[in-house]
Structure 1
Amino acid sequence: MGYYLINRDDPDKPFSQYVEKIEDLIYHIKGDINDAIIVSGKKKSQPFFLRDSEEYKNLCSEKLRNGILAQEIFKKEAIKRSFMIEDIPQDQTSFINYNIIDSFTVKRADFVIKNCKDIEVDVKCLSTYTTNSIQYFYIRYHEIKKLERMNSLIDKKTVLAIFKQHSIQADEDSLKMIELSTIHKENNRSVIYDKNTKCFKIPLDLTTPGFKLLEEHRINSDLYFGKNKLK
């Protein structure tokens, strides 16, 4: 176990300098360093810039972090409402098992809700827009198609759980839900395909608030007494 000096100011020097003893920093520092940052750790656990990590560099993006946060909020709130929620693996190894037909690609949703009949939930954290007093969001066409293809193979229904990108940090009540089948049914009516962005433009009015949609699919809902009366 040793120590790392974190270099914050000089771009020409290594990001961190490892020493076995703090006193050994005298060989690596010039001038006064009143605000030096020292971190204890093993030599192989070298600090790194997030942007330089192949595994974690995507976390530099606030949108991606908000997407992960949305999944965590959804899972916590679902459990609070007595939904039996299980994570669906999203790693590459798991997806090898899903892509069994060469002619098209597929995607599993993020969660399966065991006590909702044939329901899987894909959580999205999206920006919303307003035109002529109508709020709407965009979702990529190819994402919808991949989910639909998977549904055709496993005979499931996918519900999109939508959190607003701008309020995910402050407003847990921003959750809206919509079934993929609703998007398909409303295509070329209230749902518009935007050729420029290759996205569906979906009015927020088509969604249902909170967990109302999942409650409609809950198996034996009368068994839960008052637990499922939360929004």
Structure 2
Amino acid sequence: MAAQCEPLSGYLQQSDPGSNSERSTDSPLPVSEDDSSGPTAPPDPEWTEERFRVDRKKLEIMLLAATEGRVNGGEDFFQKVMEETDTQIAWPSKLKIGAKSKKDPHIKVSGKRDNVKEAKEKIMSVLDTKSNRVTLKMDVSHTEHSHVIGKGGNNIKKVMEDTGCHIHFPDSNRNNQAEKSNQVSIAGQPGGVEAARARIRVNKLS
């Protein structure tokens, strides 16, 4: 009889890990219930998240500088932007240097809408993908610049946001009328540049 009981006791011992594993799968439940309740404070409507591509080669150079302990390496650069703009930035710090892939990596910026926009501009000023980027210069009388830019820069900010272009107006603080330039430059993807030019013309005429 004792011999017949041994397989049974062995079977019971084997079943124990199963019961343990069942308990372990149950254990996250209280945590997930806590998670589902979410934060008590309502989400900030100004909070946003944006993903955009940056130039692979430029990012590789920056990350390489970081591994060699040089100033302005990837870590230093993104940390500085985060501090200056009060945002959170996720970047591919483990990007393989010199890989055959030509695919431009993504950067993700999270924070308040205006801060995210500022952080993106700072990042793109250094890591912009120049492959299809074009710059167009157009004449807009300097007397109309303030009208086109709008109060607090609202008009031109909206155009830049909608078209993904950077629009530069010459220095308007010069006192000498003869020195004031009419030339406005628009930089971005070809389609966006054309759209921005059309929008500036409409703003100029309105």
Q: Same fold (TM over 0.5)?
A: no
TM-score by length of 2: 0.25
TM-score by length of 1: 0.23
Report 1 or 2 for greater relative contact order, CA contacts < 8 Å, sequence distance ≥ 6. Answer: 2
Compare the two structures and name the one with the higher helix fraction: 2
